[in-house]
C-alpha cells in the first residue's frame, strides 16, 4: 500500500536520502516503496536537541535517515538511554518502548515513541520548581 503525502507549498521532506522541496502550490505524492520519509516538521536539528530525550530522538532520527552510519548512532543512542534512565528512572518504560523498536530496526515507530518520551520529559520538567 503506497504512502500518500499531501505537501503544502514550499514544504520540505526527507525521502530516501534526498531532501525535496515542494513548489508554489499544494501537491500529493505517493511513495510506492519502503524508504525513509520524514516531513520537515518531524526533523530535529542537532542544535535543537537541547534535552536528554531530544538527544534520544535525534539518535533514532539519524539511524532512520543515515543507515551507513548505524553503528555510530546506536552507540550514541545507548549512551543517551543510560543517562536518561539514571536521572529519571520514571522514564524506563517509555525508553524501553523506544528501544524495542530500535532493536527491531523499526526506526519510524521508534521516532513516534520518542516523541511521546519528549512529551513526558516536558511534563516532568514543568513540575520542577526553579530556585528562588
Q: Are 26 and 7 in contact (CB under 8 A)?
A: yes
Reported pTM: 0.89
Helix (H, G, I), strand (E, B) or coil at 29: strand
pLDDT tens, per residue, the chain with 132 residues: 788 999 999 999 999 889 999 999 999 989 998 889 999 999 999 999 999 999 999 999 999 999 999 999 999 999 999 999 999 999 999 999 999 999 999 999 999 999 999 999 999 888 876 665
- Over residues 52-70, the pLDDT tens digits come to 999 999 999 999 999 999 9
Distance set, CA 123 to CA 33, 69, 108, 120 (Å) = 37, 32, 23, 5
Amino acid at each position: 500500500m503506497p504512502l500518500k503525502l499531501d505537501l503544502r507549498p514550499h514544504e520540505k521532506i526527507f525521502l530516501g536520502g534526498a531532501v525535496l522541496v515542494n513548489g508554489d502550490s499544494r501537491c500529493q505524492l505517493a511513495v510506492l516503496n519502503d524508504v525513509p520519509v520524514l516531513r520537515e516538521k518531524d526533523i530535529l536539528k542537532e542544535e535543537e536537541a537541547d534535552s536528554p530525550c531530544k538527544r534520544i530522538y535525534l539518535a533514532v532520527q539519524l539511524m532512520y535517515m543515515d543507515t551507513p552510519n548505524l553503528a555510530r548512532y546506536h552507540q550514541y543512542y545507548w549512551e543517551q538511554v543510560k543517562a536518561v534512565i539514571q536521572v529519571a528512572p520514571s522514564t524506563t518504560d517509555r525508553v524501553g518502548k523506544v528501544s524495542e523498536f530500535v532493536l527491531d530496526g523499526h526506526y519510524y515507530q521508534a521516532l513516534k515513541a520518542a516523541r511521546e518520551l519528549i512529551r513526558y520529559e516536558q511534563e516532568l520538567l514543568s513540575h520542577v520548581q526553579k530556585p528562588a
